């Protein structure tokens, strides 16, 4: 990867099995009109096989054949092949060898129908036609699915819309992101001339908003800065995700490929008001990192993310695709030592006079190299940094990569003290040997006559490196795969994804909510210095600041119109690059429901309502869990279909008879369950818990009610009065989340007691069952604390 490369879509998961479900669908009369085909080839395939058409790009082939370029009715493609059905008059199984001899790949064989489904290159179609006993060859067109109509979100809708329950949230709460602008930072938006679609085509298909959008979402995407001419339009793919989940939201884009300080400037530009030339974004998502972004403090990009978060924009960042798992299922993507352990010997290839190398052995032994096994054909990048602040670098550490015989492969020997004033060195190597290779890292502390005279020869800073291969499984083993003696192995989140103001988002595949993606980066992140806020060195923190990362997890691998791996008639966008805009879109739905919601409230609600990802309910793997739009909105808004539960403020009998200053005594009742009138002093029957299995319980409607509450008016001679509530649910093992007035929802015990100030108050409580489902109709109780006047 080059500096600044984003977390691009990863290798696809399509397989030959997915080919077998493709169906022929009827085309319109206009589409099938025309003359006969060429021999056994259909008319379209005969035209496709001609040299001028077979050599054309797929989008042009579709136009020539009068077919859709993607989606229902398009050719089903697998790389440079198209899916076709070969019908035999007899002997279909016997003809498999002849079909393979043409270069075709067998996808399915049906003896019953004497038909073989194959994937063939367009220039191989004529050879298929000549296979003995073939009666006809027809193209397979992408089938119509049960995904529903084009609107509101276009022809391709990411599966994250269902997995994160965003579609249900839009229906339940009547939100679609209207009134919210979501800013996106990536490589480019509409610059890739080789992409399967353009932005205008996406608008026409309903997959992006714009004047030609058929679903009425006519506000065009605001491209504040689309200057990255070499981009793959990953930003447009991110925008499609946001539009799928929050079709009413406005979208804005700015490239992040403008250096770290340019990236930071575009973050601020997206958040600035429209009146000041910005986009007015209330939510921002990015998927880019720079190698030099500091490990041990907030750099310029992180500072910008923190600033916009402080001024009201919820900031989401891809956590990264750098987690590495070895054969023993250990996370080995990083290695960190608490100090530079000076070893007065170095590998011979480093040359004479170089004799202060890092000792990688944390124990009593010594080891001046660190072994890393790299798969054949893989490119490994090592990003090494040490704990000194930008603009205050005293150590000049150099990084070397050697082969198994001790010969130099690559090195990074920048002048960190006199030139960059950044504590970072990066090496990169591609294994072209034809087999897996173990290479060796060496780190030398450079000082003295052959180095910058200002470089220290005695400093021993904390040292860390991360192996970066963007989920490609390039690194398969390391010499020191486990934490030991103060050395730490595993965490791979760094840079602005580790900023306190940024919400780092891990990835969970669209097809499996029980496991995070193996490559989704883990935390935590620890800072030792203040932020890079200017040209001077930041001071050290009084104590290290450890940040739990990532905060959330969201979908990756969802479908879109052009980006990522292709197969099954669609493109799939993998990586935490896809997860970040999924989470950002849910935040847009939340702000639509409550425009006064701040970034801290968005973060808290998303984390509180996240669903468990199998056994990975872990702060540093999936954070608060898989984003749940219904759960998050349930904590900050009421469903549009909710009825009851809002009793009159002074309702109930005996409301003025409360003991002064207390509120411990009141009545049993039910807010939202239909119990006795609040304050009546009579108890309702306790709910009967079902003895059925948890699977049966989860199908029942989850309900929340108040088993005990104070009277409607609590009198006190003081500034505050105590009130006690008891909560109940119809589900065994339920836990509760409460909200008092306009504070955030927080976990609360079944018995809830606190003192309330004089004035009106509203308590909302919702139950959460053991499966992670929330009651979407919180119980609500309104009461007043009234100052008692002595007579």
pLDDT tens profile 697-723: 333 578 898 888 898 999 888 888 989
Per-residue pLDDT tens digits for 75-116: 888 778 888 889 999 999 999 999 999 999 998 888 888 989
User: Residue 635's pLDDT is what?
Assistant: 85
pLDDT band at 23; cut points 50, 70, 90:
very low
- Whole-prediction pTM: 0.69
Q: Which residues contact 683 (CB under 8 A, 6 or more apart)?
A: 668, 676
Cα-based distances in Å from 654 to 572, 661, 779, 789: 63, 16, 22, 19
Give pLDDT tens digits for 424-470.
999 999 999 999 999 999 999 999 878 889 999 999 999 999 999 88
pLDDT of residue 375: 96
Q: Which of 608, 634, 660 is the last residue of a domain?
A: 634
Q: What angle (nearest 5°) sits at the alpha carbon of residue 733, between those of residues 730 and 738?
A: 75
Is residue 333 predicted with pLDDT exceeding 90?
yes
| In contact, 700 and 731? CB cutoff 8 Å | yes
Pick the more confident residue, 669 or 319: 319
pLDDT digits (tens, 9 = 90+) for 408-422: 999 999 999 998 999
> 358 or 570, which is more confident?
358
Q: Give the helix ranges, DSSP H, for 190-313.
A: 199-204, 234-245, 259-271, 300-310
Instruction: Say whether pLDDT at 299 is over 70.
Output: yes
pLDDT of 27 higher than 90: no
Tell me how many helices (H) and strands (E) the chain has.
Answer: 17, 38
Residues 300 and 267 in one domain: yes
Residue 767 backbone dihedrals phi, psi, to 5 degrees: -90, 150
- What's phi and psi for 341, nearest 5 deg? -90, 105
Q: What is the pLDDT averaged over residues 222-236?
A: 95
Instruction: Give the confidence band of 643 by pLDDT, cuts at 50, 70, 90.
Output: very low
- Considering only residues 596 and 372, tell me which one the structure prediction assigns the higher pLDDT: 372
Instruction: Tell me, yes or no, whether 239 and 263 share the same domain.
Output: yes
Do both 165 and 269 map to the same domain?
Answer: yes
End-of-domain residue from the set 79, 106, 139: 139
pLDDT at 677 (0 to 100): 28
Q: How many residues does the chain have?
A: 791
Q: Is the peptide bond before 550 cis (omega within 30 degrees of 0)?
A: yes
- Mean pLDDT (whole number) for 339-347: 94
For residue 642, what pLDDT is reported?
41
- Is a pLDDT exceeding 90 seen at residue 241? yes
**Percent of residues, the chain, with pLDDT higher than 90:** 64
Would you say residue 339 lies in a domain?
yes
**β-strand 342-343 against 250-255: which pairing, if any?**
unpaired
- Residue 1 pLDDT greater than 50, yes or no: no
Please give the tally of structural domains in the chain.
4
Q: Average pLDDT, stretch 134-138?
A: 91
More confident residue, 742 or 586: 586
Q: Is residue 534 part of a domain?
A: no
**pLDDT bracket for residue 24 (50, 70, 90):** very low
**578 and 471 share a domain?**
no
Average pLDDT over residues 317-328: 96
Which of 672, 748, 668, 749 minimizes the C-alpha distance to 710?
Answer: 668
Check whether residue 341 and residue 397 sit in a common domain.
yes
Confidence of residue 70 (pLDDT cuts 50, 70, 90): low
Contact 59/186 with Cβ under 8 angstroms? no
Lowest-confidence segment of 47-51, 216-220, 549-553, 652-656 by average pLDDT? 652-656
84 contact partners, CB below 8 Å, separation of at least 6: 45, 117, 118, 119, 120, 125, 128, 137, 138, 139, 140
Q: What is the CATH number of the domain that holds 721?
A: 2.60.40.10
Is 112 domain-assigned? yes
pLDDT of 112 reads: 83
Tell me if 527 is assigned to some domain.
no
Residue that finishes a domain, picked among 472, 491, 510: 491
Compare 719 and 572 and report the one with higher pLDDT: 572
Residue 689 pLDDT:
26
Residue 147 lies in a domain: no
* pLDDT at residue number 618: 60
* Helix or strand run (H / E) with residue 29: helix 29-32
Q: What is the mean pLDDT of residues 780-785?
A: 92
- Using alpha carbons, list the distances in angstroms from residue 281 to 268, 368, 389, 596, 597: 10, 50, 31, 14, 14
Considering the domain architecture, whether residues 73 and 210 belong to the same structural domain is answered as no
Task: Indicate whether 745 and 765 sit together in one domain.
Answer: yes
pLDDT of residue 678: 31
Residue 103's pLDDT is 93
Q: Does one domain contain both 611 and 688? A: no
Task: Please say if the pLDDT value at position 61 is more than 60.
Answer: yes
Q: How far is CA 164 from each of CA 128, 182, 695, rounded to the nearest angstrom?
A: 45, 18, 21
Within a domain: residue 229?
yes
Per-residue pLDDT, averaged over 258-287, amounts to 96
Does residue 380 sit in the same domain as residue 278? no
Residue 331 sits in the same domain as residue 307: no
In the prediction, which pLDDT does 324 show?
Answer: 96
185: nearest Cα among 286, 281, 284, 283: 286
Torsion of CA 666, 668, 669, 670, to 10 degrees: 120
Q: Which of 251 and 788 is assigned the larger pLDDT?
A: 251
Looking up residue 350, the CATH number of its domain turns out to be 2.60.120.380
Q: What is the mean pLDDT of the chain?
A: 84
Are 190 and 282 found together in one domain?
Answer: yes
pLDDT tens digits for 170-192?
Answer: 999 999 999 999 999 999 999 99
Does the pLDDT of residue 141 top 90, yes or no? no
Three-class secondary structure of residue 419 per DSSP: helix
- 515 located within any domain: no
Position 737 pLDDT exceeds 50: yes
- CATH number, domain containing residue 271: 3.40.50.200
pLDDT-derived band at 791 (thresholds 50, 70, 90) equals low
Comparing 241-250, 384-393, 662-671, the range with the smallest average pLDDT is 662-671
pLDDT bucket at 39, cuts 50 / 70 / 90: confident
Phi (first) and psi of residue 747, to 5 degrees: -60, 140
Q: Which residue has the tokens 């339920």?
A: 734
Q: 86 has which bridge partners?
A: 116, 137
Cα–Cα distance measured from residue 168 to residue 242, given in angstroms and rounded to the nearest whole number: 16
Query: Considering the domain boundaries, does residue 312 fall inside one?
Result: yes
pLDDT value, residue 687: 31
pLDDT at residue 22, as a whole number: 29
Please report, rounded to a whole number, the percentage of residues in the chain having pLDDT higher than 70.
Answer: 85
Alpha carbon distance 238, 227 (integer Å): 17
Better pLDDT: 74 or 88: 88
Whether 178 and 74 map to the same domain: the answer is: no
Q: Give the domain range for residue 274.
A: 160-320+554-634
Apex 301 CA angle, 299 and 303, nearest 5:
65
Greater confidence, 403 or 155? 403
Give the pair of three-digit tokens for residue 106.
């067998």
Where is mean pLDDT largest: 118-122, 306-310, 617-621? 306-310
pLDDT confidence band for 71 (50 / 70 / 90): low
Query: Distances in Å between the alpha carbon of 396 and those of 366, 414, 487, 524, 749?
Result: 22, 8, 21, 26, 54
475-484, 701-710, 769-778: range with highest mean pLDDT: 475-484
Hunting for tokens 């409580």 — which residue is that? 765
Split at pLDDT 50, 70, 90, the class of 352 is confident
User: Distance between CA atoms of 155 and 768, rounded to whole angstroms?
Assistant: 35
Cβ(3)–Cβ(291) below 8 Å: yes
Q: What pLDDT is recorded for position 644?
A: 34
Whether 156 and 563 have beta carbons less than 8 Å apart is answered as no
Q: Is the dihedral of CA 35, 41, 42, 44 positive or negative?
A: negative
pLDDT of residue 143: 65
């Amino acid at each position: 990867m080059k500096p600044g490369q984003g977390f691009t879509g990863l290798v696809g998961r399509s397989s030959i099995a997915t080919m077998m479900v493709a169906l022929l669908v009827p085309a319109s009369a206009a589409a099938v009109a025309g003359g006969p085909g060429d021999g056994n080839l259909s008319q379209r395939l005969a035209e496709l096989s001609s040299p001028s058409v077979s050599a054309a790009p797929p989008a042009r082939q579709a136009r020539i054949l009068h077919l859709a370029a993607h989606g229902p009715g398009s050719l089903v493609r697998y790389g440079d092949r198209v899916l076709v059905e070969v019908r035999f008059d007899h002997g279909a199984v016997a003809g498999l060898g002849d079909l393979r001899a043409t270069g075709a790949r067998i996808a399915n064989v049906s003896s019953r129908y004497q038909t073989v489904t194959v994937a063939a290159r367009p220039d191989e179609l004529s050879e298929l036609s000549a296979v003995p006993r073939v009666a006809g060859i027809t193209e397979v067109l992408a089938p119509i699915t049960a995904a529903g109509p084009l609107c509101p979100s276009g022809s391709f809708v990411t599966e994250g819309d269902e997995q994160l329950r965003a579609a249900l949230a839009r229906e339940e709460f009547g939100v679609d992101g209207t009134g919210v602008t979501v800013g996106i930072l990536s490589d480019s938006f509409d610059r890739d001339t080789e992409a399967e679609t353009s932005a205008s085509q996406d608008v026409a298909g309903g997959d992006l908003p714009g004047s030609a959008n058929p679903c009425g979402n006519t506000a065009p995407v605001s491209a504040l800065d689309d200057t990255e001419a070499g981009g793959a339009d990953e930003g447009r793919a991110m925008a499609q995700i946001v539009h799928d989940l929050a079709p009413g939201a406005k979208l804005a884009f700015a490239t992040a490929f403008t250096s770290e300080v340019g990236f930071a400037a575009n973050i601020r530009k997206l958040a600035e008001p429209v009146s000041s030339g910005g986009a007015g974004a209330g939510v921002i998502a990015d998927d880019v990192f720079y190698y030099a972004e500091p490990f041990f403090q907030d750099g310029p990009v992180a500072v910008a993310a923190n600033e916009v978060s402080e001024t009201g924009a919820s900031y989401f960042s891809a956590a990264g695709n750098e987690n590495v798992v070895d054969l023993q299922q250990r996370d080995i993507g990083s290695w960190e030592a608490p100090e530079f352990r000076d070893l007065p010997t170095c590998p011979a290839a480093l040359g004479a006079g170089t004799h202060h190398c890092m000792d990688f052995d944390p124990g009593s032994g010594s080891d001046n190299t660190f072994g890393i096994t790299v798969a054949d054909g893989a490119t490994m990048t090592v990003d090494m940094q040490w704990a000194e602040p930008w603009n205050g670098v005293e150590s000049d550490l150099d990084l070397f990569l050697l082969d198994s015989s001790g010969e130099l492969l690559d090195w990074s020997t920048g002048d960190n003290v006199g030139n960059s004033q950044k504590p970072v060195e990066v090496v990169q190597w591609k294994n072209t040997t034809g087999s897996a290779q173990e290479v060796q890292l060496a780190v030398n502390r450079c000082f003295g006559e052959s180095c910058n005279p200002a470089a220290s020869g005695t400093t021993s800073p904390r040292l860390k490196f991360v192996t970066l291969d963007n989920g490609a499984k390039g690194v398969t083993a390391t010499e020191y795969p486990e934490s030991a003696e103060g050395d730490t192995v595993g965490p791979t989140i760094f840079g602005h994804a580790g900023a306190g103001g940024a919400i780092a988002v891990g990835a969970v595949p669209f097809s499996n909510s029980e496991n995070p993606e193996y490559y989704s980066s883990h935390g935590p992140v620890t800072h030792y210095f203040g932020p890079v806020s200017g040209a001077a060195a930041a001071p050290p923190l009084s104590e290290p600041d450890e940040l739990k990362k990532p905060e959330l997890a969201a979908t990756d691998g969802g479908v879109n119109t052009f980006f990522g791996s292709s197969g099954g008639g669609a493109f799939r966008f993998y990586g935490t690059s896809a997860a970040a805009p999924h989470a950002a879109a849910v935040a847009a739905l939340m702000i639509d429901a409550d425009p006064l919601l701040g970034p801290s409230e968005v973060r808290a609600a998303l984390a509180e309502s996240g669903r468990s990802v199998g056994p990975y309910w872990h702060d540093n793997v999936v954070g608060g869990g898989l984003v749940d739009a219904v759960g998050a909105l349930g904590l900050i808004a009421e469903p549009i279909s909710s009825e009851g539960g809002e009793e009159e403020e002074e309702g109930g009998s005996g409301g003025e008879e409360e003991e002064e200053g207390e509120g411990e005594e009141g009545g049993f009742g039910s807010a939202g369950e239909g119990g006795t009138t609040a304050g009546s002093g009579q108890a309702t029957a306790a709910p009967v818990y079902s003895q059925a299995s948890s699977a049966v319980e989860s199908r029942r409607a989850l309900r929340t009610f108040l088993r005990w509450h104070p009277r409607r008016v609590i009198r006190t001679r003081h500034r505050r009065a105590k009130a006690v509530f008891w909560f109940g649910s119809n589900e065994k093992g339920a836990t509760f989340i409460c909200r008092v007035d306009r504070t955030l929802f927080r976990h609360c015990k079944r018995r809830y007691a606190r003192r309330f100030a004089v004035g009106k108050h509203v308590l909302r409580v919702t139950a959460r069952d053991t499966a992670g489902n929330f009651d979407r109709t919180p119980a609500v109780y309104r009461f007043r604390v009234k100052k008692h006047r002595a007579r």
